[in-house]
Amino acid sequence: MQWNNASEFFAMGGYGLYVWGSFGVTALALVIEVWLIRRRHAAAVQAIRGDLQEGSSGPR
């Protein structure tokens, strides 16, 4: 361990912007990706449920 305190950790020896810009954007990108996938899945489920409803409520 080479960090004496938290502020040193965040400063990253002066490179803080670049290091956290990298790790941060990566984390953000992964979160967004998972969110988008879940949204797409939910939309597909919605569409299918919509189909089912139409099927059962239509005239037969």
Out of 31, 35, 38, 53, the only residue in the binding site for another protein (CB under 8 A) is: 38
> Does residue 52 belong to the site contacting another protein (CB under 8 A)?
yes
CA–CA gap between residue 51 and residue 39 (Å, rounded): 18
Whole-number minimum distance, CB 59 to another protein, in Å?
Answer: 20
Q: Which long-range CB contacts under 8 A does 40-44 form with residues at least 24 apart?
A: none
Whole-number minimum distance, CB 24 to another protein, in Å?
Answer: 10
Out of 4, 5, 6, 23, the only residue in the binding site for another protein (CB under 8 A) is: 23
User: For residues 10 and 20, is the Cβ–Cβ distance under 8 A?
Assistant: yes
